[in-house]
Structure 1
Amino acid sequence: MDPRRQFYLLYKKPYPLCRVPHFAFNRRILASHTGSTQRYIANVRSLSKPRVFPRLGWDDIDHSILVEEEAIPTYKPERFYPVYIGEVLNHRYQVVGKLGYGSTATVWLCRDLLNHCYVALKVYIASTSTTQEIAVYDHLKTIQSNHAGQSCLRPLIEIFQVSNPDGHRNHTCLVHPPLGISLDQLLPLLPDKVMSSAMVRTTMRNVLAALDFLQTEARVIHTDIQPNNILLGIKDNTILSQFEDAEFEAPIPRKTLEDRTIYLSRPLPISYGTPILCDLGEARLGTDNQTGDIMPDIYRAPEIILNMSWDYKVDIWNVGMVIWDLFQHSHLFRARNPQGKLDDEQHLAEIQAVLGSPPPQFLARSERSKRFWDENGQWKSQVPIPNSNLESREERLEGDEKEDFLRFLRRMLRWLPEERATAKELLFDPWLMRGLFK
């Protein structure tokens, strides 16, 4: 029997990620599981001391080539902390490899030398304020709840500051449990580069459970649900030690500059764990009467495009957008003009093609709506309404399942936010529950 399974049967809890199982348990399973257990114990013990990484043996990238974060239009090198592999941050987290990057942070796999485990470390650029994100995490820590959705949300382990070597800037660092690849990394690896309906249902049950916890008990709006913010859990931690060993044995290509090294990200293998909703960097405390521009451009709810106040139902719209992306071969809305630029008129025209004309009470909530519709609610823009609808766009399903799937989507994609279903209601939708009790 797998040691992880035996641990569960003995102690009725998941195999710990950041804790060494009681040594009596280790001795008990050692006789029958010598190889795997000894490797696990050796790995745990090795995580208690820093590792010396190679100083040679990688491919050098030409300085004229923009690498990773350098290719971001807003990139300014002095704003990024110059993380290097082998570095120990906050006296305990040794960097073993790069997991990814964005416009505001880089993400690294680290050894926690005190707790003898792996963690994911997000190092923000110096100019980014994380006060709002930290406030949300601090708020979540105060909630005493048995809600199942809480386990589908990535927790925060620690926050600390690190000083830039130039002595003039500080960087906020967030420590999280490590997770596997994101859904946008998973899709290209799947047959036809889309999920099956069963995979979509499994994934969205977890996302909706996390949202139900956020909305009903935490009173938090996520505002940034997209495939790269949904990560697979890790069932077998050996993929993390393999990631580290790969960096030791075959260092990732990098570009070495005078004041920093720009590393390529090393991909993780598919981990087959439970999907987890991540990244509360854009989250808001409070579920009603919010204002401001939020959401990834093609996922924006119509009330955001029209500068209305908004509430937690923007997350429900967001879920509908993500489901379509996971299951279909194209985005539901492109929101781009013929020049390829983000265009609100084009976006609203595409939404009307799918949803029909907006109700008068919705248009009355925004002065900006007069730019696109006349006083009778008729579309008056020069951008034509596309000749398509949800039925014609969905080509993978047939019969009753297609009908159920489209009805499920329409419970999320409504002009009026108050008409969108809640996360709890969606969890019990017949399409999402298909196959659950077989």
Structure 2
Amino acid sequence: MASASPPLGLSPPFKKSRIGCSPSVFPASGFEVIDPNLLVEEERLPTYDRTNYYPMRIGDIVDGHYQVVAKLGYGGSSTVWLARDLNKERLYRALKVHVHNAPYYHELSVYEHLKKPIQQEIDDKDTHPGRDHVRQLDDVFMIDGPHGQHAVFVMVPLGMSLATMQTGQQTGAFQPIFVTQALSQALLGLALLHSADLIHTDLHADNLLIALTDESILSTIEESEITKPSPRKQIGGDTTIHVSQYVFGGAGPLTISDLGQARIGRTQTDKAMPIQYRAPEVILGMPWGTPVDMWSAGMLVWTLLEPKSLFHVYDMASPELNDAHHLAAMTSLLGPPPKEFRDRSEESSKYWDEQGNWQGPVPLPPKTSLADLVTTLQGEQKALFVDLLECLLTWLPEGRLTADQTYFHPWLRGDDENGDQES
């Protein structure tokens, strides 16, 4: 029976390729067997359903020429695996294997949209510098699982995330010079996305990965799975839950990853963003656009530089009360929103009266300021940092700096004028 044409250049699931080099042989024993009663990796996720995930095993060969050599990570809609391309000597790729019921077409459409040249590239006849800082999609294919088909995204492997790296910092935060470099690179990526009419909506330290400059790190991971295989858990006869390996090292560009929550178009109206990073216009159901990513940039730079969170989640059991706590904390920190902002949503009357006074269902925290909360900087550097935050964490979206404008802020570009930013 003839199969339907795959969407957006999707490789057909029956594609087979000639194997050009021998696959590795992985041990069937010698690894730690995890107690079946313990929850491991993706099993810990609140929405986990084993039947949705493809039962990948280290050593499997998929699409005819990718041999899976290690597990790299997991999430609510996919697992990520390191694979060696047997058609190309020592070439490694990351395989993002979606759950069979994942709406992967949206993410695929975002990657396809991103491939198109933006107007600046057409005008300048040159590649936008942000392309080095946004993850690209190499290929897509399908594999058949016991409960349905799974889309597999093929990408260049990346190193650890900033969030993972931050857990190894003694103070729980990075040095200022590192933060300025990281934010500068993230802003280049955001500038590209925004020029392409894409809104990421999910910018945080977990989704910023450091690119690799030496693939020998990946060879070491493969060899480790052969000589000292990672722990795993067996469920029945058809599912193995492998423990992920971190890709330590990497000195390449910081790369914005995970475009699954990105939106195409300049104006959106649905709910988006992780709760703790959510911009006020999204909380209040207003139309929103690229400025939500700039709010995220402000939250990101705070998270990287300061050991304590700026806003806290107070009530996960009640989204409505949590929104109230969130908006109350914003009001305490930023002052009441201007009437121009409040008038954009009928929801505003739940939280502020006509004069902008707080009347929400939760108490207003004691008034504070960004300057009072900064602990890692002093003097001129602290003043410049607070100024940057005040340009990003503003009620009015149109009042926030763009990615391009933020890139040239004195706190990021002021090294020569202001001296060592580690002072």
TM-score (norm 1): 0.86
Asked if structure 2 preserves the Cα contact closer than 8 Å seen for 1:93 and 1:113, the reply is: yes
Counterpart of 1:121, as a letter, is: L
Q: Structure 1 436/297 Cα, relative in aligned 2: closer, same or farther at 3 Å? A: farther
| Residue-by-residue CA offset, 1:353-375 (whole Å, 9 max, x unaligned) | 12111000101111111111112
1:337, distance to aligned residue in structure 2 (A):
3.7
Correspondence 1:165-184 to 2 at 5 A: 166=146, 168-184=147-163
Residue of structure 1 aligned with 2:395, choices 387, 390, 415? 415
Counterpart of 1:349, as a letter, is: A
Q: Distance in 2 between matches of 1:375 and 1:47?
A: 72
| Residue-by-residue CA offset, 1:303-339 (whole Å, 9 max, x unaligned) | 0110111011100001111111111112110031498
In the alignment, structure 2 segments of 5+ residues that lack a partner are: 1-18, 122-126
1:201, distance to aligned residue in structure 2 (A):
0.6
Correspondence 1:133-144 to 2 at 5 A: 133-143=107-117
Residue 343 (str. 1) matches residue 322 (str. 2): yes
Residue of structure 1 aligned with 2:96, choices 119, 122, 126? 122
Correspondence 1:208-227 to 2 at 5 A: 208-216=187-195, 218-227=196-205
Asked if structure 2 preserves the Cα contact closer than 8 Å seen for 1:98 and 1:266, the reply is: yes
Residue 290 (str. 1) matches residue 268 (str. 2): yes
Alignment partner, residue 307 of structure 2? 329
Alignment partner, residue 222 of structure 2? 244
Q: Distance in 2 between matches of 1:330 and 1:159?
A: 40
Residue 231 (str. 1) matches residue 209 (str. 2): yes
Partner secondary structure for residue 252 of structure 2? strand
Counterpart of 2:112, as a letter, is: D
**Total equivalences in the alignment:** 389
1:47, distance to aligned residue in structure 2 (A):
8.7
Partner secondary structure for residue 95 of structure 2? strand
| Residue-by-residue CA offset, 1:128-180 (whole Å, 9 max, x unaligned) | 1111111111112222631111111111101111110x2x4111111110100
Alignment partner, residue 106 of structure 1? 79
1:436, distance to aligned residue in structure 2 (A):
6.2
Partner secondary structure for residue 380 of structure 1? coil
Residue 87 (str. 1) matches residue 60 (str. 2): yes
Residue of structure 2 aligned with 1:318, choices 281, 296, 308? 296
Q: Distance in 2 between matches of 1:102 and 1:436?
A: 42
Residue of structure 2 aligned with 1:434, choices 409, 414, 423? 414
Alignment partner, residue 45 of structure 2? 72
Q: Distance in 1 between matches of 2:297 and 2:284?
A: 20
Q: Structure 1 228/436 Cα, relative in aligned 2: closer, same or farther at 3 Å? A: farther
Asked if structure 2 preserves the Cα contact closer than 8 Å seen for 1:186 and 1:270, the reply is: no
Partner secondary structure for residue 369 of structure 1? helix
Q: Distance in 2 between matches of 1:335 and 1:163?
A: 40
Asked if structure 2 preserves the Cα contact closer than 8 Å seen for 1:335 and 1:350, the reply is: no
Partner secondary structure for residue 103 of structure 1? coil
Alignment partner, residue 194 of structure 1? 173
Partner secondary structure for residue 392 of structure 2? coil
Q: Distance in 2 between matches of 1:268 and 1:189?
A: 14
Asked if structure 2 preserves the Cα contact closer than 8 Å seen for 1:156 and 1:175, the reply is: yes
Counterpart of 2:325, as a letter, is: Q
Asked if structure 2 preserves the Cα contact closer than 8 Å seen for 1:93 and 1:110, the reply is: yes
Residue 51 (str. 1) matches residue 24 (str. 2): yes
Alignment partner, residue 13 of structure 2? none
Q: Distance in 2 between matches of 1:171 and 1:351?
A: 42
Counterpart of 1:316, as a letter, is: M
TM-score (norm 2): 0.89
Partner secondary structure for residue 85 of structure 1? coil
Correspondence 1:237-386 to 2 at 5 A: 237-258=215-236, 259-287=238-266, 289-337=267-315, 343-386=322-365
Q: Distance in 1 between matches of 2:71 and 2:353?
A: 52
Alignment partner, residue 6 of structure 2? none
1:191, distance to aligned residue in structure 2 (A):
3.0
Partner secondary structure for residue 193 of structure 1? coil
Q: Distance in 1 between matches of 2:316 and 2:76?
A: 26
Q: Structure 1 436/103 Cα, relative in aligned 2: closer, same or farther at 3 Å? A: farther
| Residue-by-residue CA offset, 1:173-229 (whole Å, 9 max, x unaligned) | 11110100001100011231211110011101111001111112x111111101110
Counterpart of 2:348, as a letter, is: S
Q: Distance in 1 between matches of 2:325 and 2:263?
A: 28
Q: Distance in 2 between matches of 1:338 and 1:383?
A: 14
Counterpart of 1:57, as a letter, is: G
1:378, distance to aligned residue in structure 2 (A):
1.1
Counterpart of 1:328, as a letter, is: E
Alignment partner, residue 29 of structure 1? none
1:241, distance to aligned residue in structure 2 (A):
0.6
In the alignment, structure 1 segments of 5+ residues that lack a partner are: 1-45
Stretches (4+) displaced over 3 A: 337-342
1:340, distance to aligned residue in structure 2 (A):
9.4
Partner secondary structure for residue 212 of structure 1? helix
1:351, distance to aligned residue in structure 2 (A):
0.8
Counterpart of 1:102, as a letter, is: G
